[in-house]
């Protein structure tokens, strides 16, 4: 088979798996698991083959046109370059891991068939986005991901948090998608085509009339999908979904789509210095803000969610300084270790029976119960904190090097202000990232108190997946010297200055957090706070759903817990209160959007009840009055009827005569 | 053509003897009719009806419809009014003035009647003010003529009418007969 | 003779009968008024027959038929009046009001409508 055929099969197989899973889910439950895992696995293998054949060489383009679509043609097009090949491999591998993990994690879930089918559909949509060479086809995958995320985040729809979160994820990303759509149309109108190659050619020849407008419109959609400030608020709330979904959304799909989209169309953004500056500022605010918020969260998954936002900030920062190689490099390595972190967090939540770090810090012996998760999570946290030689170190260094080049004015077309912004914010975030990674590790695994109840061994499939993902988290960075050819050809190797700076601030952050923890852990002697849900014989998802549902009643808030033993509280000081609620952005949105909409709804309700209803009642009352009047005329006296009849006839006759006389 | 010629000869303000007679009898007839519908004494109403119907018979004579005039006298004055009088008696109508002879509808009735009269008179006068009836020549309604046209041209409807009369006769008998139940009760 | 004389006389007689039909209370008097109206029509028929000199004499033939039908009508009508009088003890037309819309039925219907509206309003409250 040709490379093109294989590439077509990559998104097609999960799609067929999703369709088959939805159709057969009820009638043939035995086929659901193979139908979920095998297409994803096959897609991953095919993606690897495609990547090997493509080999980082010239981009492969293939297209077919199903039907003429007016002035701007829409093609079913493939555009396979090094970025697409490698990201597809990441998506395939992570999706396979997530599907495998889900078979254990949701093994007794009554809605598992539809869940697995939606995950397959999600994967297929992301692969479509990755391989598509036509922006309209890309948009199809983009929107399918939106609706799939809505369904998957709302998987535990019995809990109000999940319902609210799924709705929020959908609405906020849609808020970005509307300008995104306008941006796509504007881009296609300027370039005369939806094909990526055609657009890049048009940009190269300066054929774009409104680069800043287009770039900013597209950025809105990217901010929504990739959870960048100010449209990031859906991502922490999306933690109400099952852990494997979080892993899928955060590591390989959905949030990666935005970054990947900008990477594909980077020349369009690079054509406008204003857009790059906006992108840089957006990235900087996102990075620092999310890292501070992560330090204050109590829910282990929310910590990871904010960390995702921050790492996405690194990627957009790399794009803002014009180095998409670094961005996609970080995307891939982050995908590996973030998937590992989430899947490990799922194991921890099941073993500890809670998702609260405050509760975990009051129980001991967690590493002994789940040694696989302990070791793999440690590796992933090192990667997150960018400690050499883990994968995160190399990719983050690539970003910082690119920012350094830009700030020194070495990169053409990129304002050096953007470079400085990204560089400073990146270093600050490196410090904070190490701090919250250390805090997470210490609170989760170094708790003191009664021993964790024994739930038995975790399912083999879940532990196996963790070790599979640990390999790239550990070693992917070593491939850095080979990656240049796949991307634009920039060197991605770290330089001494940034390596020393980055690692130094990371070590400082980690050590300061450790010191703070030593200081505060003495206060943890109080009895355990919070509720622990233990369901050793049920599937792990049950514990998680219960933990999500009980967090607010137990701690008064979904995001934080009143725990004096938290080192984050000491480190952040007065900032902690604001960081815990995401710097009140939700409250701002509530005041800006939710309350006016509610007021409008109230007004409409009032108008409906008082005004429209009055008309309706009047419309009912007038015929009733008329009816009463007509009924009164029904006297039963024949002479009255006859009088009225004859009077009417006389009137008609006179009218006819008068008309005739006048007419004559 | 002939009546146009007659119209030219006869003026509106020079009434012939027949016209004067017609007018006088007409006024008497109308007066009797008005009294019939307004009097408070029910039996008097029937008697005034006789006067009105008799006046109409005279008008038929003046219009040279002799046979119809006699039929009018025979059937209306002779039988219908007698029937009506019997009806009044059978329903124990009060003799003498009865104050409630008119219903509460009379003002509405008056309005409708006056309006209809005004409209009709206006239209009729407006339509026929230049038309004249030529009464000269052989009588058009003598018994002979009537017998000829009735039994030459109208014989079939005439026979059908006899069936209708029979049906009415039977119907009247059935309706006015006292039922068997009534008899048993007594 | 001027055609307007019989025509106007017929019109006035007809309207007199009309008044009688509408204003009289006793059913037999109403029947008398009907006779007056029929006679007015007869007069018209005869007058126009003479005026037109119709060879078929349709007007006069119709007048004869009308007289016969009037006789039949008065027979049937009187027997009906007699029956009504026998059954109800009166022959006044404005007392025969069986087809009137009763006030009780009216109140009941409106009360039911009000109740239904109230229930609907309560349901709407509960739903809101």
Which among A628, A631, A637 has the least Cβ separation from residue C94?
A637
pLDDT for residue A185 is more than 50: yes
3-state DSSP assignment of residue B165: helix
3-state DSSP assignment of residue B38: helix
Could A637 and C21 be called an inter-chain contact, meaning their C-beta atoms sit closer than 8 Å?
Answer: no
Residues sharing a CB contact under 8 Å with residue C71, sequence separation 6 or more, in sequence order: B75, B79, B80, B165
Residues of A in Cβ contact (< 8 Å) with C34: none
Question: Using CA atoms, how far apart are residues A285 and A291, in angstroms rounded to an integer?
Answer: 10
Span A550-570, average pLDDT: 69
Residues of A in Cβ contact (< 8 Å) with B111: 647
A646 in reach of chain C (CB within 8 A): yes
Span B110-131, average pLDDT: 89
Most C CBs within 10 A among A608, A627, A639, hence the mutation to make, goes to A639
Task: Decide: A151 and A22 in contact? Cβ < 8 Å.
Answer: no
pLDDT for residue A21 is more than 60: yes
Could B37 and C23 be called an inter-chain contact, meaning their C-beta atoms sit closer than 8 Å?
Answer: yes
Cα of B105 to nearest chain C Cα, Å: 6
Task: Establish, for the pair of chains A and C, how many residue pairs have beta carbons separated by less than 8 Å.
Answer: 36
With residue A63 as reference, give the H or E element that holds it.
Answer: strand A60-64
Could B76 and C35 be called an inter-chain contact, meaning their C-beta atoms sit closer than 8 Å?
Answer: yes
CATH architecture classification, B2-138: Up-down Bundle (1.20)
3-state DSSP assignment of residue A356: strand
- Nearest residue on chain C to B37, judged by CA atoms? C20
Give the torsion through C-alpha atoms of A268, A274, A278, A283, to 10 deg.
60
Cα of A640 to nearest chain B Cα, Å: 7
Judged on CB neighbours under 10 Å (0-12, 13-18, 19+), A481 is exposed
ipTM of the complex: 0.85
Could B36 and C20 be called an inter-chain contact, meaning their C-beta atoms sit closer than 8 Å?
Answer: yes
pLDDT for residue A158 is more than 60: yes
Res. A573 pLDDT band, cuts 50 70 90? confident
The least confident of A145-149, A316-320, A359-363, A608-612 is A359-363
Span A460-466, average pLDDT: 81
Q: Which residues, numbered 578 to 607 in chain A, qualify as contacts with chain C under a Cβ-Cβ cut-off of 8 Å?
A: 605
Residue B28: what pLDDT? 94
Q: Which residues, numbered 67 to 106 in chain C, qualify as contacts with chain B under a Cβ-Cβ cut-off of 8 Å?
A: 67-76, 78-83, 85-86, 91-94
Top-confidence range, A176-190, A273-287, B46-60: B46-60
Could C11 and B108 be called an inter-chain contact, meaning their C-beta atoms sit closer than 8 Å?
Answer: no
Span A358-375, average pLDDT: 81
Task: Establish, for the pair of chains B and C, how many residue pairs have beta carbons separated by less than 8 Å.
Answer: 268
Of the two residues A176 and A360, the one the predictor is more confident about is A176
Cα of C67 to nearest chain B Cα, Å: 8
B134 token code pair: 């030529």
Alpha helix stretches (DSSP H) within B39-154: 42-62, 66-71, 81-90, 106-128, 143-152
3-state DSSP assignment of residue A195: strand
- Nearest residue on chain A to C24, judged by CA atoms? A639
Residue A483: what pLDDT? 74
Span B143-170, average pLDDT: 90
Q: Which residues, numbered 34 to 63 in chain C, qualify as contacts with chain B under a Cβ-Cβ cut-off of 8 Å?
A: 35-36, 39, 42-43, 46-47, 49-51, 53, 56-57, 60-61, 63
Residues of C in Cβ contact (< 8 Å) with B79: 71
What are the angstrom distances between the C-alpha of A525 and each of A36, A452, A521, A531?
Answer: 46, 16, 8, 17
Span A10-36, average pLDDT: 84
Res. C66 pLDDT band, cuts 50 70 90? very high
Q: Which residues, numbered 49 to 68 in chain B, qualify as contacts with chain C under a Cβ-Cβ cut-off of 8 Å?
A: 49, 52-53, 56, 59-60, 62-65, 67-68
C15 in reach of chain A (CB within 8 A): no
Entry pTM: 0.67
Span C42-68, average pLDDT: 90
Measure CA A663 to chain center. 81
Secondary structure of A288-323 as H, E, C letters: HHHHHHHHHCCEHHHHHHHHHHHHHHHHHHHHHCCC
Bridge-based pairing of strands A60-64 and A76-80 is antiparallel
Span A473-498, average pLDDT: 75
Could C31 and B87 be called an inter-chain contact, meaning their C-beta atoms sit closer than 8 Å?
Answer: yes
Task: Decide: A555 and A358 in contact? Cβ < 8 Å.
Answer: yes
Task: Decide: B36 and C19 in contact? Cβ < 8 Å.
Answer: no
Task: Establish, for the pair of chains A and B, how many residue pairs have beta carbons separated by less than 8 Å.
Answer: 27
Touching C (3+ Cβ pairs <8 A), the chains are A, B
- Nearest residue on chain B to A646, judged by CA atoms? B112
A114 token code pair: 């539809």
| Mean of the per-residue pLDDT values of chain A | 82
With residue A77 as reference, give the H or E element that holds it.
Answer: strand A76-80
The least confident of A254-263, A533-542, B141-150 is A533-542
B120 token code pair: 């009709």
Could B119 and A650 be called an inter-chain contact, meaning their C-beta atoms sit closer than 8 Å?
Answer: yes
A513 token code pair: 């957090």
- Nearest residue on chain B to C22, judged by CA atoms? B109
Could A632 and C98 be called an inter-chain contact, meaning their C-beta atoms sit closer than 8 Å?
Answer: no
Most C CBs within 10 A among B4, B87, B153, B179, hence the mutation to make, goes to B87
Task: Decide: A432 and A385 in contact? Cβ < 8 Å.
Answer: no
Of the two residues A17 and A563, the one the predictor is more confident about is A17
Q: Which residues, numbered 77 to 136 in chain B, qualify as contacts with chain C under a Cβ-Cβ cut-off of 8 Å?
A: 79-80, 83-84, 86-88, 90-93, 100-106, 108-110, 112-114, 116-117, 120-121, 124-125, 128-129, 131-135
**In percent, how much of chain A has pLDDT > 90?**
3
- Nearest residue on chain B to C86, judged by CA atoms? B91
Which among C5, C43, C56 has the least Cβ separation from residue B19?
C5
Which among C11, C31, C51 has the least Cβ separation from residue B120?
C11
Cα of A663 to nearest chain B Cα, Å: 15
Touching B (3+ Cβ pairs <8 A), the chains are A, C
The least confident of A486-490, A613-617, B44-48, C6-10 is A486-490
Residue A523: what pLDDT? 67
Q: How many helices (H) and strands (E) does chain B have?
A: 9, 0
Could C79 and B65 be called an inter-chain contact, meaning their C-beta atoms sit closer than 8 Å?
Answer: no
Task: Decide: B36 and C20 in contact? Cβ < 8 Å.
Answer: yes
DSSP C35: H
Residues in chain B: 186
Residue B13: what pLDDT? 59
Of the two residues A308 and A361, the one the predictor is more confident about is A308
Residues of B in Cβ contact (< 8 Å) with C13: 29-30, 33, 52, 56
Residues of A in Cβ contact (< 8 Å) with C106: 628, 631
Res. B55 pLDDT band, cuts 50 70 90? very high
Residue A593: what pLDDT? 82
Measure CA A149 to chain center. 8
Residue A24: what pLDDT? 83
Residue A555: what pLDDT? 67
Question: Using CA atoms, how far apart are residues B74 and B81, in angstroms rounded to an integer?
Answer: 10
B146 in reach of chain C (CB within 8 A): yes
Could B112 and A647 be called an inter-chain contact, meaning their C-beta atoms sit closer than 8 Å?
Answer: yes
Residue with tokens 């899973």: A21
Cα of C44 to nearest chain B Cα, Å: 10
Task: Decide: A349 and A306 in contact? Cβ < 8 Å.
Answer: no
- Nearest residue on chain B to C52, judged by CA atoms? B133
Residue A475: what pLDDT? 79
Could B157 and C65 be called an inter-chain contact, meaning their C-beta atoms sit closer than 8 Å?
Answer: yes
Could B108 and A643 be called an inter-chain contact, meaning their C-beta atoms sit closer than 8 Å?
Answer: yes
Could B83 and C47 be called an inter-chain contact, meaning their C-beta atoms sit closer than 8 Å?
Answer: no
Residue A248: what pLDDT? 85
Span A370-380, average pLDDT: 86
Span A501-514, average pLDDT: 84
Res. B51 pLDDT band, cuts 50 70 90? very high
Task: Decide: B157 and C65 in contact? Cβ < 8 Å.
Answer: yes
Span A478-491, average pLDDT: 72
Cα of C99 to nearest chain A Cα, Å: 5
Question: Using CA atoms, how far apart are residues A207 and A198, in angstroms rounded to an integer?
Answer: 11
Question: Using CA atoms, how far apart are residues A507 and A382, in angstroms rounded to an integer?
Answer: 11
Res. C20 pLDDT band, cuts 50 70 90? very high
């Amino acid at each position: 088979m040709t490379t093109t055929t294989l590439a077509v099969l990559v998104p097609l197989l999960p799609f067929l798996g999703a369709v088959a899973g939805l159709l057969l889910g009820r009638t043939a439950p035995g086929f659901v698991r193979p139908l979920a895992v095998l297409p994803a696995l096959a897609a991953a293998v095919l993606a690897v083959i495609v990547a090997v054949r493509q080999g980082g060489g010239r981009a492969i383009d293939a297209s077919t046109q199903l039907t003429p679509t007016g002035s701007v043609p829409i093609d079913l097009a493939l555009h396979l370059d090094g970025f697409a090949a490698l990201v597809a491999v990441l998506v395939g591998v992570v999706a396979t891991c997530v599907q495998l993990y889900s078979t254990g994690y949701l093994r007794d879930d009554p809605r598992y068939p539809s869940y697995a089918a939606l995950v397959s559909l999600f994967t297929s949509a992301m692969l479509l986005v990755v391989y598509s060479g036509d922006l309209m086809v890309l948009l199809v995958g983009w929107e399918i991901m939106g609706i799939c995320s809505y369904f998957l985040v709302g998987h535990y729809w019995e809990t109000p948090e999940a319902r609210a979160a799924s709705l929020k994820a959908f609405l906020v990303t849609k808020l970005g998608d509307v300008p995104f759509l306008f941006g796509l149309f504007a881009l296609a109108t300027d370039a005369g085509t939806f094909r990526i190659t055609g657009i890049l050619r048009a940009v190269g020849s300066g054929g774009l009339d409104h680069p800043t407008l287009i770039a900013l419109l597209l950025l809105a959609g990217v901010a929504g999908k990739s959870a960048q400030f100010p449209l990031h608020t859906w991502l922490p709330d999306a933690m109400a979904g099952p852990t494997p979904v979080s892993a899928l959304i955060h590591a390989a799909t959905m949030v990666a789509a935005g970054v990947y989209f900008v990477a594909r169309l980077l020349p369009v953004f690079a054509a406008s210095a204003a857009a790059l500056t906006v992108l840089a500022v957006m990235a900087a605010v996102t990075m620092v803000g999310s890292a501070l918020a992560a330090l204050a969260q109590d829910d282990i998954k929310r910590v990871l969610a904010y960390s995702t936002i921050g790492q996405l900030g690194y990627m957009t920062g790399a794009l803002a300084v014009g180095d998409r190689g670094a961005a996609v490099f970080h995307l891939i390595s982050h995908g590996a270790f973030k998937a590992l972190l989430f899947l490990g967090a799922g194991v921890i939540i099941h073993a500890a029976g809670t998702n609260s770090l405050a509760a975990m810090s009051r129980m001991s012996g967690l590493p002994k119960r789940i040694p696989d998760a302990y070791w793999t999570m440690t590796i992933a946290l090192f990667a997150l904190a960018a400690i050499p030689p883990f994968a995160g170190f190399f990719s983050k260094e690539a970003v910082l090097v690119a920012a350094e080049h830009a700030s020194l004015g070495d990169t053409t077309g990129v304002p050096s202000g953007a470079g400085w912004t990204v560089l400073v914010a990146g270093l600050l975030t490196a410090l904070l990232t190490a701090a919250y990674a250390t805090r997470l590790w210490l609170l989760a695994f170094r708790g003191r108190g009664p021993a964790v109840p024994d739930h038995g061994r975790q399912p083999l499939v879940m532990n196996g997946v963790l070790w599979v993902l640990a390999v790239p988290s550990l070693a992917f960075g070593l491939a850095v010297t080979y990656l240049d050819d796949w991307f634009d050809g920039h060197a991605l190797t770290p330089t001494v200055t940034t390596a020393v700076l980055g690692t130094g601030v990371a070590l400082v952050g980690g050590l300061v957090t450790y010191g703070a923890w030593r200081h505060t852990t003495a206060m943890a002697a109080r009895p355990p706070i919070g509720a622990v849900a233990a369901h050793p014989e049920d599937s792990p998802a049950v514990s998680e759903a219960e933990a999500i549902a009980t967090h607010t009643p137990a701690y008064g808030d979904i995001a934080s817990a009143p725990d004096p033993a938290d080192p984050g509280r000491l480190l952040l000081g007065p900032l902690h209160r604001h960081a815990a609620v995401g710097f009140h952005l939700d409250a701002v949105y509530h005041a800006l959007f939710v309350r006016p909409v509610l007021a409008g709804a109230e007004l409409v309700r009032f108008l409906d009840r008082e005004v429209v209803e009055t008309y309706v009642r009047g419309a009912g009352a007038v015929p009733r009055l008329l009816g009463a009047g007509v009924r009164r005329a029904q006297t039963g006296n024949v002479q009255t009827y006859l009088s009225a009849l004859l009077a009417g006839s006389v009137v008609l006759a006179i009218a006819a005569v008068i008309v005739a006389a006048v007419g004559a | 053509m002939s009546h146009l010629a007659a119209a030219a000869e006869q003026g509106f303000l020079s009434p012939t003897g027949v016209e004067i007679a017609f007018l006088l009898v007409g006024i008497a007839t109308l007066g009797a009719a008005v009294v019939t519908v307004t009097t408070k004494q029910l039996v008097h109403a029937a008697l005034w009806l006789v006067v009105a119907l008799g006046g109409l018979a005279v008008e038929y004579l003046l219009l040279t419809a002799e046979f119809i005039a006699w039929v009018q006298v025979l059937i209306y004055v002779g039988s219908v009014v007698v029937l009506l009088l019997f009806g009044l008696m059978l329903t124990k109508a009060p003799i003498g003035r009865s104050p409630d002879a008119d219903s509460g509808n009379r003002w509405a009735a008056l309005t409708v009647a006056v309006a209809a009269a005004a409209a009709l008179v206006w239209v009729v006068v407006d339509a026929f003010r230049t038309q004249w009836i030529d009464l000269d020549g052989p009588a058009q309604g003598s018994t002979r003529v009537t017998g000829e046209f009735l039994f030459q041209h109208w014989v079939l409807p005439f026979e059908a009418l006899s069936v209708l009369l029979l049906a009415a006769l039977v119907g009247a008998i059935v309706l006015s007969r006292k039922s068997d139940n009534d008899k048993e009760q007594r | 003779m001027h055609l307007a004389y019989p025509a106007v006389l017929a019109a006035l007689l007809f309207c007199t009968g009309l008044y009688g039909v509408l204003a009289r209370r006793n059913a037999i008097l109403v029947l008398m008024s009907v006779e007056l109206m029929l006679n007015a029509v007869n007069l018209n028929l005869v007058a126009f027959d003479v005026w037109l000199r119709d060879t078929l004499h349709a007007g006069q033939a119709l007048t004869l038929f009308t007289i016969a039908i009037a006789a039949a009508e008065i027979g049937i009508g009187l027997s009906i009046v007699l029956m009504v009088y026998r059954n109800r003890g009166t022959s006044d037309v404005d007392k025969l009001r069986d087809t009137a819309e009763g006030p009780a039925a009216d109140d009941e219907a409106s009360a039911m409508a009000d109740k239904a509206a109230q229930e609907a309003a309560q349901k709407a409250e509960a739903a809101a």
